[in-house]
C-alpha cells in the first residue's frame, strides 16, 4: 500500500520520514516547503506545491519536484492513502 505523506510544517519532518516506506511519496505544502532543502529528504520521492514555495521565497531544487494543485490531485489519486503531518 503506497502512502502520500502531506507535510504541513517543517517541525513534523522527523515523524514523517520515520514512517515513509518504499513506494511512498512526500508532498511539502504550506509552511512544510521550508523543509525542501533538508537532507533527510534525500532519496525520498518528494514534491512541493510551487505556489506555496513561491509565496515563502523558497527555491525548489532537485530532488524536490515542483507541482501545482493539479499535481497535488494526481499524487493523491496515485497513492492508496494519505497521512497529514502537522
Indicate which CATH number applies to the domain containing 65. Answer: 3.40.1260.10
Residue-wise pLDDT for 46-67, tens only, equals: 999 999 999 999 999 999 999 9
The count of structural domains within the chain is 1
Whole-number Å distance between alpha carbons of 31 and 22: 25
Task: Give pLDDT, residue 82.
Answer: 98
**Residues in the chain, pLDDT under 50:** none
Task: Give pLDDT, residue 37.
Answer: 97
3-state secondary structure 7-44: ECCHHHHHHHHHCCCCCCEEEECHHHHHHCCCHHHCCC
Distances (CA, A) of 24 to 32, 49, 51, 55, 80: 17, 17, 23, 26, 10
Percent of the chain past pLDDT 70, that is, above it, reads: 100
What is the 8-class DSSP label of residue 59? Answer: P
The boundaries of the domain holding residue 75 are 3-85
Amino acid at each position: 500500500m503506497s502512502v502520500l505523506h502531506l507535510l504541513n510544517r517543517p517541525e513534523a519532518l522527523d515523524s514523517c520520514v520515520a514512517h515513509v516506506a518504499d513506494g511512498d511519496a512526500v508532498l511539502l505544502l504550506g509552511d512544510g516547503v521550508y523543509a525542501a532543502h533538508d537532507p533527510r529528504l534525500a532519496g525520498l520521492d518528494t514534491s512541493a506545491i510551487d505556489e506555496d514555495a513561491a509565496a515563502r521565497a523558497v527555491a525548489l531544487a532537485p530532488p524536490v519536484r515542483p507541482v501545482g494543485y493539479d499535481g497535488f490531485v494526481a499524487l493523491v489519486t496515485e497513492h492508496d492513502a494519505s497521512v497529514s503531518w502537522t
